[in-house]
Amino acid sequence: MSQAACVKKTDILIEGATIISPGLIRGSDESIVVVDEGSIAIDDERIVYVGPSPAPLEFQNAAKRIDASGLIALPGFVNAHTHAAMTLLRGYADDMVLMEWLEEKIWPIEAHLDSEDVYWGAMLACVEMIRAGVTTFADQYFFMDDTAKAVRDSGIRACLSRGLIATSPNSAEALRENIELCQNWDGAANGRITTMLGPHAPYTCPPDFLEKVMEAAEEFGVGMHIHLSETSGEVEESRAKHAGMSPIELMDSIGLFRFQTLAAHCVHVSPGDIEILSAKGVGVAHNPGSNMKIASGIAPVPAMLKAGVKVGLGTDGASSNNNLDLLEEARLAAFLHKLANNDPTVIPAGQALSMATLGGAKAMGMDSDIGSLELGKKADIILLDVNKPHMYPKHDLTSHVIYSARSSDVTTVIINGKPVMEDGVLTDIDEEEVLRTAEERAKALVAKA
């Protein structure tokens, strides 16, 4: 072997970017660090150098160089709660009261969904999210094999769970499907797919059913993705049925939180609930867009953050948002909590950016691998064009990312070390086919309802 062959080639070298990330320096954790002229080297699927340009000589021998001068490099956004295939129902039913919306519109049409629909709906979601700089999402739905195939085919990263509703006649079959999802897909697509169990919520999954779910979690070593305390009615019902306990107290009492738990919403939570979430390390996916659109209420996010709760952001499904734009969600979170607290210092830009990236990764239990541009982490990196009128003048680029940038400013997306979008062009996906097929399937679905 020649001497030159011993020097391993770096796969990708990004040069000249303004790097903005939480956790960029070991120990800096969630505070944002900015490197004005930075480079990132990627070898295989991991970051092997992140810091000032030029990168050390050993990383200069790159197979691919990306000139990122005039661009911002960020960790990919983490959408910590969604139902990807619901893109097919985007705009189908809006401006309705939650239970009427579910019972009259959403559930009847979901009864007609088939596995092909879910594949194309999920593909549409993946295309939309990649374009918006989302590199990881947490999903709970059904026909999850097809969502997994869409994740595999699109190049995105996801943590998938099969939604479980104990009261539905096929609950045992659904739990079996969720277990098979974990067996067949956990670690698939070069590790881009991970899995969880998906008990929908305490009001649809009573404790005796959750016992079976916890047995499965124990056996297969996976966590839980659940909706908790989304509406005030749900909390009242829980207190009336379960000896005065809130949904969070109830879940704690049955031992659910001994498993890695990702809890969507947590809108109506008491100080006692927040203490439990913090003490038990429960991750919270805050969905400000969905909570506002359905008028569920305002989650006490500043209090949760103060108590050390791991809070990430989610879009929820596209029929209650109606897009999967996590950057928009970060801005909504900052604005909503400033207004709700009558305090403009609440959730400053850096904290919103942390929640959109590392916060989501922590809430999903994935922060050892993703959520920040740190040495050794998986290379999930997005580049944002700052040469737009709304990005001038460049007083503070962290502020610009949250308060001024648009997700359409994302030009390049790298996931697991592989470029999936370059200069606005998706590298492996026939986008036109995805849009056309999703439109056809959505129309056929509505005709069946």
Write out the residues near Zn ion by the rule CB under 5 A: 316
What residue has token string 């881009």? 192
133 three-state secondary structure? coil
Q: How far is the CB of 229 from Zn ion (least distance, A)?
A: 13
Q: How far is the CB of 231 from Zn ion (least distance, A)?
A: 12
Q: How far is the CB of 227 from Zn ion (least distance, A)?
A: 6
Nearer to Zn ion, 316 or 380 (CB): 316
Nearer to Zn ion, 316 or 328 (CB): 316
Nearer to Zn ion, 186 or 316 (CB): 316
Q: How far is the CB of 79 from Zn ion (least distance, A)?
A: 11
Rounded CA gap, 168 and 170, in Å?
A: 6
Q: How far is the CB of 316 from Zn ion (least distance, A)?
A: 5
Rounded CA gap, 257 and 224, in Å?
A: 9
277-306 in b/e form (b: 16+ CB < 10 A) is: bbebbbbbbbbbbbbebbebbebbbbebbe
Nearest residue to Zn ion, by Cβ distance, number only: 316
Nearer to Zn ion, 316 or 325 (CB): 316
Nearer to Zn ion, 146 or 316 (CB): 316
Side chain identity at 315, as an amino acid letter? T
Side chain identity at 325, as an amino acid letter? D
Rounded CA gap, 240 and 247, in Å?
A: 11
Q: How far is the CB of 211 from Zn ion (least distance, A)?
A: 23
Rounded CA gap, 31 and 4, in Å?
A: 40
Length of the chain in terms of residues written: 449
Nearer to Zn ion, 86 or 410 (CB): 86
Nearer to Zn ion, 40 or 263 (CB): 263
DSSP string, 242-299: TTT--HHHHHHHTTGGGS-EEEEE--S--HHHHHHHHHTT-EEEE-HHHHHHTT----
Tokens of 193: 């797919």
Q: How far is the CB of 426 from Zn ion (least distance, A)?
A: 27
**Half-sphere exposure (Cβ direction) of 280: Cα atoms closer than 13 Å:** 24
Nearer to Zn ion, 316 or 409 (CB): 316
Q: Is 7 exposed, middle or buried (0-12, 13-18, 19+ CB in 10 A)?
A: exposed
Q: How far is the CB of 379 from Zn ion (least distance, A)?
A: 29
Nearer to Zn ion, 17 or 78 (CB): 78
Tokens of 62: 């790159």
| Residue whose C-alpha is closest to residue 47's, from 287, 213, 101, 55 | 55
Tokens of 167: 């009261």
Q: How far is the CB of 81 from Zn ion (least distance, A)?
A: 6
Q: How far is the CB of 201 from Zn ion (least distance, A)?
A: 9
Q: Where are the beta strands (DSSP E) in 86-192?
A: 134-141, 157-164
Nearer to Zn ion, 80 or 336 (CB): 80
Q: How far is the CB of 200 from Zn ion (least distance, A)?
A: 9
Nearer to Zn ion, 62 or 138 (CB): 138
Contacts of 286 (CB under 8 A, 6+ apart): 265, 266, 299, 301, 311, 312, 313, 314, 333, 355
| Residue whose C-alpha is closest to residue 210's, from 164, 241, 143 | 164
